[in-house]
Amino acid sequence: MPETRPLRPHDPEGVGGYRLTGLIGEGAQGTVYLGESESGRRVAVKILRADFGRDPRARTGFERELAAARRVAPFCTAPILAADAGTVPPYIVSEYIEGPSLRDLVFDRGVMTGAQLTGLAIGTATALAAIHEAGVVHRDFKPANVLLSAGGPRVIDFGIARALDSTSTTMTGAVGTPAYMAPEQVAGSSGGAPLDMFAWGCTIAFAANGRPPFGTDTVPAIMRRVLYEEPDLGALTGDLRDLVASCLAKDPAHRPTALQVLQRLLGADNESDLLTRGSSVATHTSSGSAPASPDETPGDAPSDAPGEALGEALAAPPSPPPAPPPPVAPPGGAWTPATFPPPAPSAAPRPHPAPGRRPGDRRLLISAAGVAATALVAAGITGAVLLRDGGPPGGGPTGGGRTAAATTPSAGDARQGCRYGPATGPARDVGTPPPQPPSLPSGATIETSLGTLEVRLDPAKAPCAVNSLAFLAGKNFFDGTRCHRLTSNTSLKILQCGDPTGTGTGGPGYTFASENTAGVRYARGTVAMANAGPDTNGSQFFIVYEDAPRLPPVYPVIGRVTSGMEVVDRVARAGTATGGDDGVPKQEITIADVRTS
């Protein structure tokens, strides 16, 4: 975010429970402030220039658009934390990103080149892919809405332009910034995801040249060029130039999608896990996020320049893992805790050239092998720690210590039907889910006593687990249950919920097999099934509140929290009731309702 200024006499002191501490900037949509939550977390608060009180339909549309925007996965984006269209004026609260906008950085320091420009392209394409996957169109993607943080580029203000356009009190006509608007926007069409790809091409061209490809003079002149003339791509060369040019096609049907752009940028043969890989590469290139200063010539970057950072991320062997922490023991110590065996040494993976490319020619394409190096620590771990009473040694986040009586198909066989076998141990029997549901939800809302969590589910990779969650939610299985376990061990930081007995040993009257565990990584916000061993999944799940790279991939990942992680953070900060690093949370949190959609 730009540097903040002191609040002015007429500025509010707080909005929606957030204390305002400074002024970030003003624009056509509203005024942006730096704010703080009750816990001290910094946020960006946008007070909108809109009044929905006179138009209930506009307010409904606004709330619908914002609900979709809050489902966007946090890959290279600044997630929306809260919003209220019922206040006067309405406001939106999002994660605060420390760092300048792409617009300001290029104006202050100069254009981007080489790996730095490629890293920007990858990060922003990753963000747009995540936004589009949630069914949202940004509609105002431009350099001012790309912030360059220490963790890579982050896209802000997605899903807001159309929401604000639902009321005539904010703007009329086409939504967007003329120099980055697609021809269909200029012509007055609402358009879809392809208009964001047009804006992406304009933004990358701006980063490379210091000016947008259709000029910066009068609005009529810019619009005429957008509609009828070819773009000026200036210094862009090679594959990136070709990719940007394809995004600037006049016909939206001829533009690639964000996933296709990301696939080409990464040199991937398929679309598996592209968002995670794109986010990782963008983070690796962020160590030198500022362009070379004007007195530096291209190619003579200092030793910490992003080009070298990217090369090191792709070719250098991974750093040796830290010494393993002591295992976490459950309250009471009724079992013998497992220990971490030392990870096996492994050689650094070598990037493989993409088909049709010469070895050593990185250019635009980035090998996935370099990104995968970050997962080597988790791959070398074969032991874990129990997270509840009564489970067998050698497990991880457990979900009841029950033994499955039947084998469930893997995720790849789920189209043949999910099988749910009977469970042993404490159970609340509500029946079993249908083996072949007509449809599966893509999202879940978890209402708790401390706030709301929005979860983006992955029914394609964990259909039987998502089917089970939807079934239990429909039976009000989780209502009134308390999240019973908090672990703050140095290698494992999770909040575990979903046991109606509150002891960590209970669940439904069935179990099912594991899905979606191959190569998974448990990053912050991951939602995964807890179990007591292979194929013993039930109702218990855990939320990772800090990255857990040492947790072995044996717990099925069902989704990711896209909004509300501050609720989990609040519980984590309070610690356990006993003051240890594993036990019942001191800050009680109870699930009031779980809904899937």
DSSP single-letter state for residue 89: S
| Interior angle at CA 240, CA 235 and CA 241, nearest 5 | 50
E strand or H helix that includes residue 94:
strand 91-95
d(CA 355, CA 369): 15
User: If you search the block for the tokens 């240890």, which residue do you land on?
Assistant: 580
Secondary structure class of 508 (helix, strand, coil): strand
d(CA 27, CA 101): 14
Query: Where in the sequence numbering do the catalytic residues fall?
Result: 140
- Residue 106: Cβ within 10 Å count: 21
Omega before residue 89 within 30° of 0, cis: yes
Radius of gyration of the chain (CA): 25
Burial class (CB in 10 A: 0-12, 13-18, 19+), 240: buried
Helices (H), 166-209: 183-186, 193-209
d(CA 80, CA 69): 7
Q: How do strand 526-529 and strand 485-489 relate by DSSP bridges?
A: unpaired
- Torsions phi, psi for 493 (to 5 deg): -125, 100
d(CA 564, CA 62): 20
CB-based contact 231:245 (threshold 8 Å)? yes
**Which residue, among 46, 9, 272, 15, has the nearest Cα to 156 in the 3D structure?**
46
Q: What is the largest CA-CA distance in the chain?
A: 76
E strand or H helix that includes residue 91:
strand 91-95
Q: How do strand 42-48 and strand 91-95 relate by DSSP bridges?
A: antiparallel
User: If you search the block for the tokens 């013998």, which residue do you land on?
Assistant: 336
CB-based contact 282:122 (threshold 8 Å)? yes
Which positions ≥6 away from 214 have C-beta within 8 Å? 179, 202, 222, 225, 226, 229, 231, 232
SS3 sequence of 396-414? CCCCCCCCCCCCCCCHHHH
CB-based contact 32:91 (threshold 8 Å)? no
Q: Name residue 510's beta-bridge partners.
A: 422
